[in-house]
Amino acid sequence: MKKILALVLSIALICCLFTGCGSTEKIIVAEKGSAGENVASTLEGYTYTAVKDQAAALMEVSAGTADAAIIDYVMSIGSIGKGTDYEKLVVTGDGYSPENYGIAFRKGSDVTAKVNEAIAQLKSNGKLKEIGDKYKLGDLVTATDTFDAFKQAEENSDWEYIKQKGELIIGITYFAPMNYKDANGELVGFETEFAKAVCEILDVKPVFQKIDWNSKETELAAKSIDCIWNGMTIDAERAANMSITIPYMTNKQVMVVKEK
């Protein structure tokens, strides 16, 4: 009997070693290189896995291959719940890491002040709030910070470069409700309409270009794009390496799980 009991215990121990017996860790996903990754990779009780974008993070949770995802709160508003493709997904908890969105230009760019003036105008005349309300983001609109008045650079003026081209090349990724394709294949979203309104004031044509989010700084510096306008979180590192507008919207990171 003792030999049989010892054999059973040995088998149980081997099974635990190979299957993680007793482990309570769950899988959590977030977009690689995002603010969500900073949160997800530090949460206790979860094994973190990076995915290519926030849409992929939601797909993993919906498919049951991940227990939770960390995404932008603004994305959760337009992408989960009733009337969306992810009706069974819900936000749980109060969220993490309050943050602000800004538009990034090349370091030292004089276009930043020009765009700040346009943002202030859209805030003052109510257009920014109107666009926000259309995408259920009106309560998150800020744009209250002060900024330096526009002064064109004497040398290597980014504004002169963009004026001469007559267009502003805007680096984006696709995610609702910021920039996404509607049922007719047309690019829509809060950022899309916001950018068009600013470009109308600047009298330049908006050209939206999909980018690899992990290469955004490189593309900006190389002038493949003129700005990053895609729900970009303002942080110390980005502020040190790029020229960023006043914050125009508040955000936070939230955990999304399947509804029980």
Q: Which fold has domain 99-252?
A: D-Maltodextrin-Binding Protein; domain 2 (3.40.190)
Query: d(Cα 56, Cα 144) in Å, to the nearest integer?
Result: 34
DSSP H or E run through 135: none
The whole-number pLDDT of residue 13 equals 38
The tens digit of pLDDT for each residue in 171-224 reads 999 988 999 999 999 999 999 999 999 999 999 999 999 999 889 999 999 999
Query: d(Cα 102, Cα 124) in Å, to the nearest integer?
Result: 18
Q: What is the DSSP letter of 211?
A: -
List the Cα angle 61/65/90 in 5-degree steps.
15
CB contact at 8 A, 190 and 153: no
80: three-class secondary structure by DSSP = coil
pTM of the entire predicted model: 0.82
The whole-number pLDDT of residue 16 equals 42
Which residues of the chain carry a pLDDT beneath 50? 2, 4-20
The whole-number pLDDT of residue 25 equals 84
The whole-number pLDDT of residue 176 equals 87
Q: Where exactly are the structural domains of the chain?
A: 99-252
The whole-number pLDDT of residue 23 equals 53
CB contact at 8 A, 187 and 195: no
Q: Could you tell me which residues come within 8 angstroms of residue 176 by beta carbon, excluding any fewer than 6 positions away?
A: 75, 78, 79, 189
